[in-house]
Structure 1
Amino acid sequence: MGLGNTPEKGGGLGALEYTFIMFSMASCLPLFFLGPIAFNLGLSLQEALLAALVGNLVVAVAMALNGHAGIKHKIDFPEQAVRSLGELTGKAAVVMRGLVGAMWFGVEAYNGALALNLILLFALGLTGAALLEKATVLIPAALVLYLGSMYLVLKLGVKGIGKAATLAGPLLLLYFAWLWIWMKNSGFQPSEAPKGVGLLSSAFLIYLAIQTNWWATVAVNISDLSREAKSWGALWIGVMLGMVGGQLIGTYLSYELVLLTGKTLPQEIITEFAPGAIAVLLGLAFAFLAPWTTDLTANLPPMIDILKSIFGMSWKRASLLSAAAGFVLAPWWLLDNAPQIVGYVTSFAASYGVILGPILGALLAAHWVGGLNRPPNPSYKPVILPTTAGLLAGLIVSYAIAYPLGMVTSVLGVPFPQGPIWYVGVAVSVIAAALLLKLVPAKVKFKNET
């Protein structure tokens, strides 16, 4: 759907469906990196769970508040961005959100393709270390199959994605919960857990940032999903139970599994420790299904938003091109072992919040203070100064705080603030935009206004 052409009919997704959708998004394979990341940073299990609870609870509240615009006005994220920020700034926000989604899409596509290769090679009789080594070499070929199947499912739209989500999330977490219980009952002895780093340490703050940034992505473009909701309450229940609950369960299970196995990659755990061929193949099937579903629900829509809203492409063409772009974006050319995969996710997830925080803050101020999401007339402004200034303020202050504290790292050559900078970006942006909207109201005419 293009801008200004959004249907006004009511949505059909209820609390149970949203819970499953959010639960499925949380049940991605990188979720099982959260335990190893916490372990490697020296966090205790209690510290890891506290960071998961705090980080995801804050994001869930922001997600529900921002999703109200989609529920009330039945608009998707590109139209919300343009109504909130103006034509030029809004489309820039769509691009920035899409780039973050594209990076996550690559991570998930890599993991899904790796699972496909492992299924094939295991069925051919390979086991042990040689299995993972050969599977990483064949990633490009498996990516073609992964992305091709995804393109076919994209034609079903949001409701079709929801049906797939109801299957993927529960199966993956149930499988790893079963595997953990089986290992505990089979006499596997856990290694010694870290003693903790302290709640004010840089390690804890970095991990808090990782947990926060994990789904701060979807908090920005949640209207792509929330516009299908029956009610705002359904969205609140979905994000609290599905997203926060899923993150807590995944963090706990993955921490326990790294203690029991010493392995960091979920695919490694499945192939080396699952009892029997059927258990291995089932686990690998779920290891394919989880990233596949998460890419469909969370990572592909922002990429498609860019192509539809900015370049005017049809849904079909945008879906096809986004899937093809996934082949290039998947880091198969950078990674060839488990530590590299986890390290890539760690550095990326700890850093990109500087992009998303200011966008989210400006969207919240536009909706709740400025009332800018009402249907606008066709002559919409290229830039809405109060919200655009708020977004820029959040971005500038984030970097200004991070550099003196030494909380800046390089991801693919681009400097990004680390640590809980997302909180700074959201707070500064929403306060600055709200104050400016009160002092200098955005002069935008709406339908039926003179």
Structure 2
Amino acid sequence: MTLSPTPETLSSSQLLSSSMSSLSSSTSSRQASSQISKIYRQASTLFLTRRLPESLSTILPVITPPPAEDNAEGSGEGAPIAKASRTTRIKVWSLYLTILNAVLELAPDEGKAAFGTSEFRALVNKVREGEVWEDVVRNGYGGVEGDVDADVVINLATLLLAHANTQKTNQTRLENYLAASTSPNLNIAERLQAVPKGRRSPMKSGTDTPRDLNARVKILELYTLHVLLRNNEWDYSREFITMSEVLDEERREAFLQALQSLQDEQLDAERRQREERRYQEEMLKREIEEQRRKREQEERERKLQEEKRDSRKGSEVDYGVEDSYPSSGSAKARSVKGGSAKGSRNRPQSPPPTTRSSKPQKPVRKGKVEPTLGTRAANILANLKKVLESMAGALSTNPMLLLRTLCFMVAFLVLFGRRDVRERIRRAANQGWTKVLQTAGMGVKVSYI
């Protein structure tokens, strides 16, 4: 006879099977956590010895999902880190993000030499574009944004804050996390599936324990006092701090004071930058003005030199004209001489007169014609001009000569400014004049006699 199972027997068997499955899952979870902890220690040792490529390659299998061919069941489970405990999860992700930060702090040549050009560029782009946040959520937390541990969120936000190209991605991720972690998940089936995997229940708001509260305050600090300020959203940051339910009055006041201090520092920095830019513009204008003045001075000096050369050339030309006067006079003399010769051929020859009037008609050489009175006056003026020009050139080339002349004139004026000197000179002049008169009178008497 076959016994049919009763409902009590069914319920007992189901409870036993569920207990066995939970026990096996907990045993496998402990084994996985132990293996992950071992890998974490190896990667930490490699990182501390600055062997970044080996450290990264050691920890990558823990945080990366297995390939599709290795997953026999095809359940699409996440990375092994998703089954580890909360403490192990935080340690592994923190080490991974720390390694990425050290990689991005390397010089480009050093990073390419250590990882290779393509791999180094891929790691840099993953951090700068914010893709690392998506990898952490997808591989470690099943794609649920609100399930990410607060410490991991802090490390992610800090990494993007230091190396991201823009803080827009960081702001969006933090806002999504804050919204997802504060809203309860009413899907009971998802909650029951999430607990065996080692993830915390999404029902938590992030402030259930003092540790969670401190982590949430740290996230709010990063969001309001760093990320939003990088995006130049000062008013929104102040409004968010004022309306936040996590912050108490003391912390809210501290946040607002810190925000005001940062804004004042930014305004002072902008003011200093404006002043520095204005100062540089003024210095540039001064340099341009100084160069312009130098060019004008050089141009004036050049023109002055050209005028001096032209004046010297003009004086030389005038001198040549003055020398041409005797030749013209000789030409006139030759014409007069030729006319007198023709007249003498027409008239009967007579003996040459012996009077003084016949001297100008004697043959005179070409270069020895006596200059006229105007020619002599012109020569005197030209020579006087040359003397003045030579004196001006000497004074310009030798300023000490001008200084000596001025000193002599000043000394002469000072000497004649003394009354006793003037009296002595007057007496000497009177005595000399008296002697001249006496000599002249004696001469008159002698001539008269």
Tell me the TM-score normalised to structure 1 length: 0.18
Question: Over alpha carbons, which structure has the higher Rg?
Answer: 2
Query: Which of the two has greater helix per residue?
Result: 2
Tell me the TM-score normalised to structure 2 length: 0.18
